[in-house]
Structure 1
Amino acid sequence: MPIQPQKARFIVFLFLFFFQSLSNSFALGVDFIEKADFNEDGSGQFSIEVDLTKTSYLISVIKYLNKNYKDVTKTIGYKAFSNASTKFETIAGISQVDVAYDEKMLKFKLMFKFNTIQALNKAMGKLNKGLDPPKITYFSLDDVLFIREDLNGVAKKLLLYQQYDNSLVKSLDLASFFKESTYTTIYTFCNTIEDYSNPLSEVTKDKKTIRVTHHVFAPDQVEHAIGNRLHFTKK
């Protein structure tokens, strides 16, 4: 006899609490990877990937409990990316929008090209609608300065999502459930990076690419998060 949906949800609820209580046995979390390549004229390409590898065991358990949850990985984020990508069609300067999904590797990625920084900011606004103030400028770029604004911080976004979510996530201790979550930004420029404001930054040898890996719920990293301010070497 198949498990009733209500019963299945209750079992999943118990399993979620069981897994979040095992603080040292399982590294639960989600990894976000944001990449952008900037050209001299302000155009470029952008992608954001969500990697659910750390939650693979938990996802397997959920799928085993009931076939109704076989598409749980798509529900977690792929559909959100797809919905956002359709809104990009109305933004001038955004092109080649694509959403890739790898069921086996538990990864999905949103990619697009932008003609201007203004177009990139509009796309980011669509992607983060409801999470950030509507007039936030995510990216600023000129010959001497680059700014990545992160007003709320990733941790605050997750907590806000929990507050308004109607699913089982609302009852979870996100700090435990997402304890190993990271948000990584990787930006590549034509100009040489001279200095940066985020202490989590790592710069490549050619000083053209900068990487920040932010452990979302690490107490000593919440303040800095993914925001950064770069100065380029003057030509």
Structure 2
Amino acid sequence: MQRKKAKIIFFLFLFLFYCTTHYSSHSYSLGIDFVERAYFNKNGSGGFSLKVDLTKIGKLISVIKYINKDYQHITKIIGYNIFSAAEQRLKKIDGISDIRLKQDKAMLKFTIKFAFENIKVLNKAVDQINKGLDPTNITYFSFSDELFVREDVNGIAKKLLLYKEHDNCLVNSLDLAFFFRDSTYTTIYTFPNKIVDFSNPFSELTEDKKTIGIAHHIFAIGETDDSISNRIHFENNN
């Protein structure tokens, strides 16, 4: 078993060395892209989705599969199985409905989406999706007529490093900051009222000022301590 693991790690490092010496950082990238979307109605209900895209590490995954047949279903383990387990936990939450789980044919893109009745229920749902990565019962979202708050307790980079610390398999031997160096976590939120102010400097507004997005480059220099946290103020229509 140890010989197999050593062989896999050896070939992985050869592959990574090849990538870094034959491609510039602008033409080749390694990482995982996360996209979190949500829309909110005035009564606090809405819809939420989380997408995980493994396309950037698709070639690396192909190499792993070629080296060891035991890893033929690695993308299913990374994406589908995790979301499928989360789906079962979401089904137990009152106020969560229309749960959908989908993936592309290449098994590189996975999305889980659902509708929620109120913010309290949404917090319970995200708590279940992030189970094991964050402390329990966190208030991820707060929403009122005047203010929306998105909290990011551990930060995405810290979550990945925490996963490495508690993992006993192959990923424990890798430099995650390198392996995930081009990873991004994007949030896109749409509201019924216009946005007049926000706290996160990486925020971008759409022309109608009702949708706001943040593209967080998780391991980029100068951004590892930043997060997707945001305080968003709305136009007062009274």
TM-score of Structure 1 vs Structure 2, range by shorter chain = over 0.9
Superposition RMSD on alpha carbons, in Å?
1.6
Equivalent in the alignment of 2:125:
123
Equivalent in the alignment of 2:69:
67
1:164 Cα offset (Å): 0.4
Mapped to 1, the partners of 2:205 and 2:97 lie a distance apart of 29
Letter in structure 2 aligned against 1:95: S
1:16 Cα offset (Å): 2.4
1:8 Cα offset (Å): 4.6
Equivalent in the alignment of 1:144:
146
Equivalent in the alignment of 2:207:
205
1:220-231 matches, cutoff 5 A: 220-231=222-233
Moved more, 220-229 or 32-41: 220-229
Contact 2:50-2:111 at 8 Å conserved across structures: yes
- Which residue of 117, 125, 137 corresponds with 1:135? 137
TM-score with structure 2 setting the length? 0.92
1:67 Cα offset (Å): 3.1
Q: Deviations for 1:25-55, whole angstroms, at most 9, x for unmatched residues?
A: 3411000000001111111111000001100
- Which residue of 156, 175, 178 corresponds with 1:176? 178
Contact 2:33-2:183 at 8 Å conserved across structures: yes
Contact 2:12-2:64 at 8 Å conserved across structures: no
Task: Tell me the percent identity.
Answer: 55
Q: Deviations for 1:119-156, whole angstroms, at most 9, x for unmatched residues?
A: 00001111112211213100000100000000110000
Q: Are positions 1:17 and 2:13 aligned together?
A: yes
TM-score with structure 1 setting the length? 0.93
Moved more, 16-25 or 66-75: 16-25
Structure 2: 5+ residue stretches without partners: none
Equivalent in the alignment of 1:97:
99
Equivalent in the alignment of 2:235:
233
Letter in structure 2 aligned against 1:147: V
Equivalent in the alignment of 1:88:
90
Q: Alignment partner of 1:77: what SS?
A: helix
Equivalent in the alignment of 2:165:
163
Contact 1:20-1:176 at 8 Å conserved across structures: no
Letter in structure 1 aligned against 2:199: S
Mapped to 2, the partners of 1:122 and 1:140 lie a distance apart of 12
Mapped to 2, the partners of 1:222 and 1:228 lie a distance apart of 16
1:6 Cα offset (Å): 6.0
Q: Alignment partner of 1:223: what SS?
A: coil
Q: Alignment partner of 1:110: what SS?
A: strand
Structure 1: 5+ residue stretches without partners: none
Change (3 A) 1:224 1:6: closer
Letter in structure 2 aligned against 1:188: T
